[in-house]
Structure 1
């Protein structure tokens, strides 16, 4: 299916959720094949340079992206809110509902890209969405925080990307991976720490994410 904007779209959007307005940047390449919603991690936002880098690579393959803030600036100052997976998941599902009602995106297959605590929200949202969530990618995520109850319900093909030097998070990903019964892959990026700041490591993340979404959302990768 294709976006109704054959020449592409770049738009700041505001989504009403929980009596607040969340801002996001919606960008669709010409004839987008799908849409990836980004769930950022604790202390991060839609301006994250790492997620924006990944998003640019995804758009080059024909995917639309929605980078949004799941918390308001005031909420984000509350450390507990950053780790409130129930709240983050509810917001992500409400954003998904907005996408489904938005004329530019209503027909596009949906995937989720989650980083840090955002990965747990992405997996819980995927568990709730069933087959409507076509794929999930986690970058340096905390999928363990999604909890066993939801991890075993995920049907969306899931890729967990972890830095080889991020040993504690790698162990948590291995535990979560064992609970997933969907098509899945755990990919360890050699020489990478938690934020993938080492030369070339973020490019590997973007490349693998693009290939995963390409396989499951039908892009040209």
Structure 2
């Protein structure tokens, strides 16, 4: 099937996209059942403690993870670039292409985990990838920013996770959910605000994400 390492793999990678190199941390358990690419939201990075917590839980269930910065540090200082969904999507697609050509990951089923604006990029990329992406999870995301044109084309099973106290984002997720025609679920995490900082809420996100990816990626492995 895929390459395996007795003790797994942890490697800083640099992927050429557009005219820049984006950095990512690729971590694989000994025998990964799939690979989840993380698309961070505006103002976040691959060092995000929340996404690293989720990634660690995913790896404990046998999934590989790639946490990466789709924007360079200089680009991330520009508020408008942070919300450039087309740019984020293009770079996520180029990173996916890199993963598919990398000997360590070329045969692994692929999933996307998106937070905030990264969720919109993940869904747009999934629309472009069709059956070549097996699952998408959004955490406190803005899937509405993907736009109707792309949302209706998503084929990958999609889980939208939203905090129960994040009322505005709940409405935006409901609107995006209605446009999705793939296998889908909208899950409201009780007592959670936008960043899932309340005790136990991020653990619920990680648990639901792991179950979603575990089911849909393992089925393709």
Contact 1:3 1:108 in 2 (8 A): no
Partner of 2:209: 209
Partner of 2:36: 36
Q: CA deviation at 1:4?
A: 3.6
Partner of 1:65: 65
User: Cα deviation per residue 1:81-129 (whole Å; 9 max; x = unaligned)?
Assistant: 0000000000000000000110000000000000000000000000000
Contact 1:35 1:65 in 2 (8 A): yes
Partner of 2:180: 180
Aligned length: 219
Q: Distance in 1 between the 2:168 and 2:37 partners?
A: 26
Q: CA deviation at 1:5?
A: 2.8
Contact 1:134 1:217 in 2 (8 A): yes
User: Cα deviation per residue 1:148-189 (whole Å; 9 max; x = unaligned)?
Assistant: 000000000000000000000000000000000000000000
Matches within 5 A, 1:88-127: 88-127=88-127
TM-score normalized by the length of structure 1? 0.98
Matches within 5 A, 1:76-155: 76-155=76-155
Q: Distance in 2 between the 1:54 and 1:209 partners?
A: 8
Partner of 1:8: 8
Q: Distance in 1 between the 2:204 and 2:36 partners?
A: 18
Partner of 2:171: 171
Contact 2:133 2:156 in 1 (8 A): yes
Q: CA deviation at 1:26?
A: 0.2
User: Cα deviation per residue 1:19-71 (whole Å; 9 max; x = unaligned)?
Assistant: 10000000000010100000000000000000000000000000000000000
Partner of 1:157: 157
Structure 1 gaps, min length 5: none
Q: CA deviation at 1:10?
A: 0.1
Secondary structure of the residue aligned to 2:195 is coil
Contact 1:25 1:66 in 2 (8 A): yes
Structure 2 gaps, min length 5: none
User: Cα deviation per residue 1:177-217 (whole Å; 9 max; x = unaligned)?
Assistant: 00000000000000000000000000000000000001101
Q: Distance in 2 between the 1:89 and 1:114 partners?
A: 11
Q: Distance in 2 between the 1:186 and 1:2 partners?
A: 32
TM-score normalized by the length of structure 2? 0.98
Displaced runs of 4 or more, over 6 A: none
Q: Distance in 2 between the 1:130 and 1:6 partners?
A: 33
RMSD (Å) for aligned C-alpha atoms: 0.8
Contact 1:3 1:33 in 2 (8 A): no
Secondary structure of the residue aligned to 1:14 is strand
